[in-house]
Structures are given as C-alpha cells and as structure tokens.
Structure 1
C-alpha cells in the first residue's frame, strides 16, 4: 500500500532537487538559505500576535530549541546574519523568570528532555561565539544559561528508583513521570560533557561519567557485538527499570556519540574513544540505508510523527561535532554525512517553492512529506559538510588539555557562571509540586467564587 505523501509525490512527478556541490561552501550555503526560508514559514515569532521563540502548532516548544540550535550553526558556518536577530530574540525570550529555560508558558507540561534541548541550543551559542546578550540581558550569558539547565536538571537526579537517572517528566501529574528515558539522560550527559570542555572544570566531567555509567548499568545503552544499541527507556514500575522499551531513535545515538566525543576531546582518555567507536558501529548497523541516514523505527512504515521527523537534525549536528572533535573517526563519519547530504538535497525538490524538503533521503527526490522536521533535518546534514572549513566548537580555556592542565584560551567569549540556576525556586529545581504564588491564589479564589455563583444561580433557576 502506498502511503499518501508518497502517492502525492508520484502524481507530481520527478523534480530536480537542490543543486548541491558537497565540497563548496557557497553551494552548501546557497542551499541552506533556501531551506531556512522554508523554516521561517513555520515561525510564529515574526507574526502578528505570535510568541517569540515558538513555531506554529502542532510543533512543540522543545522542537523550537532544536531548530534554533541548528540555525546558530547556519549563522556560523555560512556567516549569514539574515536571521541573527530572530535567533537572538528567541533564545532570550524563552529563558523564563529564573533564567533556566523553564518559562511560565511551559512549566506545567515541560519535561526534562524539553529543557535539555534549549540547553543544547545555549551551548551551541556559546561554542560558536554567537552574539552575546546585552542591554536588559547584560547579566546573562549563553554558557550561564546552559549551566542553569545543567544545575536544575542535575538537581532532579533520582537515586530512589532504578539506582539513578532522570525521569522523563518533571511534574508528577504529567504522563511519563514514572518513565526514565534515554533522551533526558543523554541530554544531561551531553550538556555536562560540553560544559566540562568549555570550562575545563572536572566536576562536570565527573557528572557526565556518572550519568553515562548509569545509562549502561540499566542497559539503556546495550553492547551488542562491537556496537551499541540505545533503547528508549523503561518504566520505574516494580522491576526497577528492567523492562525496556526497545524503540531506537537517531537522536539518542547522536546525543550520546556527541557527548562521548566531547569527553574524549577534553580528557584524551582512550576509553571515550572506544565508546565513540561502539556508537559508530551501532549507527552503521541501525540507521543507514544505502549509506544514507534514515529513521528506521518509523520511516519505512510512514508512521513518524511530527517530533520523530525532526530527530535526524540533532543527530546530524552531533555527527558533525564528532567528526571534528575525534579525528580517528573523521573520514568514516564524513562519508555518512556526504551521502546523506546528497540525498537530502535531492529530497528538497517539493512544494510550491520547488525546494521543500522530504523525509526519505534515499528516495531520489521529494517523497511528499513536508514540515518543520524535514526542513531542519535537511539543513543540519547539509551544513555539517562544512566542519572542515571552520574551527572546532570554541571553549573558554582551550579544547584538549596537556598534562592535566588547561591549554591556551580557546576563543570562547561567553562567560562562565557555575552558580546559574541554583537560586531558582523549588518549582524549577525539584519541581515535584507546583508552588502557588499569592497572586495565583487570589486569582484562583476569584475564579472559584465566580463558578460557585453560577452554579447557585442555575440551581435557583431550575427550582423556580
């Protein structure tokens, strides 16, 4: 049975994709410009009445964090400041009252993985020397925001169940509070590893190792032969996370191999190089179709939802970072990126603009799928062709260390704030209960009174 998007593409006929020369920065950036224009079609922040930092429904808040992380790389790789102000405003509009990416418009439903993706965006800003906050935000730094995310997430580390780990959800009333998942924990691992490298502070590296060891201990990361399999997670239940949900997603593998790459680059410990290799083997065995990246769990069946259709974006970003930070795997990973970028460019041949991107990069053209996830995934795999033409992610003191001491200044200009996020209220930190402020109690009392009055009036009317 041909699923509808594929059928529509067949009816439209074959259309030539983007003209991409994988060796040319100008060619890659020309393609990126067209794709980013398509991304902006979904952005609410520049529309009348739209929320700055948010994309239109049905795209969730976390995905905005993922998209802006990718757009920072476009700004950096292509030296294109067209959307610099939009990115800057979005990253700051969503930081929340406590400056930890727990904004009031999200805190009732925000999960640990959601917060992590905005933390990853802040890290991208710090490591790429994106325009530093100023004016009313002069006391904020990109690295400080990432550290605030780290501090609030690490405060939720739960040793009572399953011997450690973050729950998927922050708040008790949300479905998934009893579930510990790979992406939340992988996100914190990646954040900790990158802060360690940026700050040359081993405290963060120790945290990263604690998280990573736990992921292996509970078999969320499972060694199968020479390569890793990464499972989605497990419910706490009565068996302490022993019954695994074995769905496998590109973004889990990507965030984890990226974290291991940062740890290897920072520590020069060969054990982290071994871990990079095991993830590479797992990726090669799981997510390549004719050498091209695909989302195996749902792509062939045409069942990928809006979230899942974006997972290849951060996956591609982390593959690029790994190729840059771990020379031993540079060529192998760049082969994947190059083949996938060619396929992605061919997929970007749909829609009324002629360069709307699809999901299946091995199809040879547009497959009829379209959306924010397809656009950002194609963008990220293409722009990571440019890693060799640019510096590695910046750090404050330097990347690799020599004899255990910090090397020369690493070019990063974003200030370090180890205490960021630690003064936040319990709602942002432990967040097991929602603190109701005085004005909220008053408002709740007024609403309750109004509702009660209406009920009494209706009752009297019915009796009369």
Structure 2
C-alpha cells in the first residue's frame, strides 16, 4: 500500500462532500493517465469508477473531473486488443462488462449534457441486446459472448437499469421503455429471486432454466433496485417499488448479509476469497439502495446507509483516505475494488 498516495485530505465525517471527494482523490491515485483506466482492476471496475465520478459531478454540480472522464471515454473507444472480434466503443466479451460502461456513459450524459456519451450508451444497449436469447429460457441476455452461455442475474439487471434510464433521459422515447418492460417481465418470471426474496447468481445451464442456487452476491441485489426505481420513474407503477422494497428488506434483515446492520459479502468472508471482482460489490448494492431510499417518502433505509458509512469511515479508512474491504474492520489493503465500493457508499449519503 505504500506505493499508493492519496491526493485528497481527510474530511470531517462520512456524510460530507469533502469526505466523498477525498475518497475519489484516493481512488484516482490508481488512475493511469496513459490508458485512461484505473490500474489493478478488472476492466469493468474502471467503468464503475467512471460512473461514480460522473455521479459525484451530478450530485455536486462540479465539473472538476470532466476532462479526466472525457479522456477515459476517448481512450476506451479504440478496438480492444484482447477481444478477438474487434470490440470497441465499450463493447466487451461479456454483456455485463459492456453494461457497466454503458451506465457510466449514461451518467456522464446526465452530468455534462454531452450527447456523445448518450450516443455511445445507445450503441452499447444495442450490442447487449444482440445477445438476447431466442432459443432457450424464454429470452433473457446471455452472459458470455465468446461461448454464448449462461443466463446470469447481473447482465439482465444492468440491461434493465440501462434501458429504463435511457428512456428517462430521452424525451418521447418508447423503444427503451418497451425493452425495460420486456427485461423485467422475463427476469421476474425466471425464479432468480429466491424464496427469501434474494437474487441468486443465475439460471441452470440445462433445459430447465431454474435458479441455480449460486451465491447471493450483494451487487445482484443492488443493480436490480436501481433498475426498478428507473422503471417506476418511467411508469409510475408502484408494483416496481414494491418489488424493490421486498429485495432491499431481505438484504437489510438478513443476519448473514447485514450482521449488526453492516453490509457483508457473505458469499466470500475475506477479500482473498472475493478476489478482485467481489471487493467492489457492496458499494454497488448501497448505490441501488440509496436510489430506492430517495424516492420513498419515509426514507426507510437512510439509517442503514448512514450506519454503514459511519462504520467504514471510523473503522476501515486509513490516514490517507483509502478504505479496506470490510467496513466493520481495520484497513487491510488499498485496491480499486475496495475504493470504488467506498466511494459508492459515501456518495449514497449525500
């Protein structure tokens, strides 16, 4: 960790713009000004980091990170060396990796009004929908573009949020709304939401297409919340809010996911077990929970969000505003996954 130095300053508390900015500045210590990516992360996490920066600008009205965001977008539009079919413009070899960047682009459009970002998000939506399955499981996006396999939760949740968000950003749209409705109708009927009200990882890869019982990752609970809020915004249909509240309540009240009210990645007890991907998941859940909380009159999840932020600030933050994996424990290491998770958490308090 000694090789990473934060550029920010320690602020006064977790629900504070300066605290969020300090965490972003620490996150940006990983930013590579040649590649336009945040180093040490899987490619998708740089998309999550870009989205967090965009949403910070949107919430605060600051344009501080607009040049960095523009450079990231420009560098990532080039063909991808590791994608043998010549991917580019954020089109990756999995539908979920594409979706993270598409959401970042949509948020950048919200923050800046630059239509280039909206146009790119539309390109990514079309690319994702090319992998809507017409032969098995009654539809749904498949995850792996190379192998054309696996109906998983995260790809479909990202597509739900993206299409509903595009509808809400584009006056007079009907196309993206119909896509979002189609996605939710399919997803809700699959059984991926289990008897406890929690979302498992995906469907079995045989003809039965039933819930595969794989881990209940926190981010799979969060992205669907954000998507359902966007869909409610589009339609004013309270059933989408009811569905979101059911999932949110299941997480908040689950003893393994929220022991003592602090979100925990129960499917992998340590950062090593979570590997680099899972270290970013908790902040993604809190982001979705905060979007749900914001549209509810009684803000029922506000205390949960703030309790998690306070715990992370008090326990897992080091002297240079880096945050560790566990929000209840002392700082362990600095990585982009850990840091962007904390940025999402802190942003959710503003």
Shorter-chain TM range is 0.7 to 0.9
Aligned counterpart for 1:39 among listed residues 7, 27, 37 = 27
Aligned counterpart for 2:326 among listed residues 360, 363, 376 = 360
Counterpart check, 1:222 vs 2:194:
yes
Shift of 1:321: 2.1
Shift of 1:29: 2.2
For 1:211, the equivalent position in structure 2 comes to: 183
Shift of 1:75: 2.3
Counterpart check, 1:21 vs 2:4:
no
**Structure possessing the higher radius of gyration over alpha carbons:** 1
Aligned counterpart for 1:198 among listed residues 169, 183, 187 = 169
Q: CA-to-partner distance for each residue in 1:299-339, whole Å, 9 max, x for gaps?
A: 35852111100112322222222222x224x5212122111
Give secondary structure in 2 for the equivalent of 1:233: coil
Whole-angstrom CA distance in 1 between matches of 2:208 and 2:77: 34
Q: What is the TM-score of this pair, normalised by structure 2?
A: 0.87
Aligned length: 337
For 2:149, the equivalent position in structure 1 comes to: 178
- After TM superposition, list the pairs within 5 Å mapping 1:53-202 onto structure 2: 54-57=37-40, 59-96=41-78, 104=87, 110-127=93-110, 129-130=111-112, 132=114, 141-172=116-147, 177-199=148-170, 200-202=172-174
8 A contact 1:88–1:131 mirrored in 2: no
8 A contact 1:290–1:362 mirrored in 2: no
Whole-angstrom CA distance in 2 between matches of 1:123 and 1:91: 12
For 2:218, the equivalent position in structure 1 comes to: 250
* Residues 60/80 of structure 1: CA separation in 2 closer, same or farther (3 Å cut): same
Give secondary structure in 2 for the equivalent of 1:290: helix
Unmatched tracts of structure 1, length 5 or more: 6-16, 133-139, 387-464
Give secondary structure in 1 for the equivalent of 2:300: helix
Whole-angstrom CA distance in 1 between matches of 2:91 and 2:165: 28
Whole-angstrom CA distance in 2 between matches of 1:375 and 1:242: 35
Q: CA-to-partner distance for each residue in 1:436-460, whole Å, 9 max, x for gaps?
A: xxxxxxxxxxxxxxxxxxxxxxxxx
Q: CA-to-partner distance for each residue in 1:408-464, whole Å, 9 max, x for gaps?
A: xxxxxxxxxxxxxxxxxxxxxxxxxxxxxxxxxxxxxxxxxxxxxxxxxxxxxxxxx
8 A contact 2:26–2:320 mirrored in 1: no
Q: CA-to-partner distance for each residue in 1:65-87, whole Å, 9 max, x for gaps?
A: 01100011222334444432111
Higher relative contact order, chain-length normalized (CA < 8 Å, sep 6+):
1
8 A contact 1:20–1:345 mirrored in 2: no
8 A contact 1:161–1:236 mirrored in 2: no
For 1:288, the equivalent position in structure 2 comes to: 258
For 1:315, the equivalent position in structure 2 comes to: 285
What CA RMSD, in Å, does the superposition of the two structures yield over aligned residues? Answer: 2.8
Give secondary structure in 2 for the equivalent of 1:62: helix
- After TM superposition, list the pairs within 5 Å mapping 1:331-342 onto structure 2: 331-342=299-310
Shift of 1:94: 1.6
Q: CA-to-partner distance for each residue in 1:341-375, whole Å, 9 max, x for gaps?
A: 1112124433xx54321111123xx2413211111
Higher helix share: 2
- After TM superposition, list the pairs within 5 Å mapping 1:304-453 onto structure 2: 304-324=274-294, 326-328=295-297, 331-350=299-318, 353-363=319-329, 366-386=330-350
